[in-house]
Amino acid sequence: MRPLLHTCLCFAVLFITACGTQQSRQAVTQPVEPSVSQHLNKGYEYISAGSAKKAARELEAALAICDQKYAAAENAVYSARSSTEALAYLVIAAAKDESAEVDNTDCSDSLYLMGYVSLDFGQIDEAEAYLKRAVKMAPSNAMYLSELGHVYHLRRDWDTALKIFTQAEEAAKGFSPEAVKTNEQLRAKRGVGYTLIELGELDKAEAKFNECLAIDKNDAGSIRELKYIQSIRRNPKKL
């Protein structure tokens, strides 16, 4: 019986191999286009490797697919990292009496990273535009909001920066996934604190950085800013 079984297995392997060969031939003649997530992942890889131009090409390809995907959408399109965040957007849409759908974050992440890359190129206007589009898709994404807040730091638009970083702080508290909640809370709070220093609100800034240390006593950015506040108090002309 064993030789017969072996023969059957051989035929099965030959059949599967033949199918695979046929599919491979089809793949050669009809190549599958990379998806948004594949372009996005490549973009991440290039950014990590310090290749901003290559990252931009991948992200532009991702966004071209996104634009085509949403071109005919009749509903408002949101993106979310959790079911809680998704539900919040649907509630917002219902309050506006508008139809809405919630997608994954591939397209909004591509916008976010294009904003990041644009800043690397020194293109502040382009970065602001991309990040605003990302925030429109995910109004409670603390990561997007903090990067947009950074744009207003670069513009020295302190009032707008304070508004955006405050929104980021609330978003991190309520919607950031647990795996990134601490980092996103700290970044948003530091953004608020930094802005308050520039607005001359030293006591409020000090309190905000101390909130950061209550979360992470070793937060280097907050420790550095608290020392800066002390130096300003000794020499107000520094501000």
User: Count of domains in the chain?
Assistant: 1
Q: Mean pLDDT, to the nearest integer, of 30-43?
A: 87
Residue 126 near residue 107 (C-beta atoms within 8 A) = no
Query: Which structural domain, as residue segments, surrounds residue 205?
Result: 140-239
Q: Provide the residue count of the chain.
A: 239
- Residue 24 pLDDT greater than 90, yes or no: no
Q: What is the pLDDT of residues 46-90, one digit of tens each?
A: 999 999 999 999 999 999 999 999 998 889 999 999 999 999 999
Question: Rounded distance, CA 127 to CA 237, Å?
Answer: 33
Tokens found for residue 196: 């308050």
Give the pLDDT score at 30. 53
Query: What is the average pLDDT score of the chain?
Result: 89
Q: Of 82, 141, 192, 231, which is closest to residue 131 (Cα–Cα)?
A: 141
Give the pLDDT score at 21. 37
Residue 163, domain member (yes or no): yes
- Residue 17 pLDDT greater than 60, yes or no: no
Give the pLDDT score at 33. 78
Give the pLDDT score at 214. 98
- Residue 5 pLDDT greater than 50, yes or no: no
Residue 67, domain member (yes or no): no
Q: What is the pLDDT of residues 124-180, one digit of tens each?
A: 999 999 999 999 999 999 999 999 999 999 999 999 999 999 999 999 999 999 999
Residue 216 near residue 228 (C-beta atoms within 8 A) = no
- Residue 29 pLDDT greater than 70, yes or no: no
Helix (H, G, I), strand (E, B) or coil at 52: helix
Residue 102, domain member (yes or no): no
Residue 190, domain member (yes or no): yes
Residue 144 near residue 134 (C-beta atoms within 8 A) = yes
**Which CATH number do you get for residue 165?**
1.25.40.10
Whole-Å CA distances, 200 to 128, 155, 167: 25, 17, 20
Give the pLDDT score at 238. 64
Helix (H, G, I), strand (E, B) or coil at 205: helix
- Residue 2 pLDDT greater than 80, yes or no: no
Residues 6+ apart with CB under 8 A from 161: 149, 152, 153, 191, 195
Residue 186, domain member (yes or no): yes
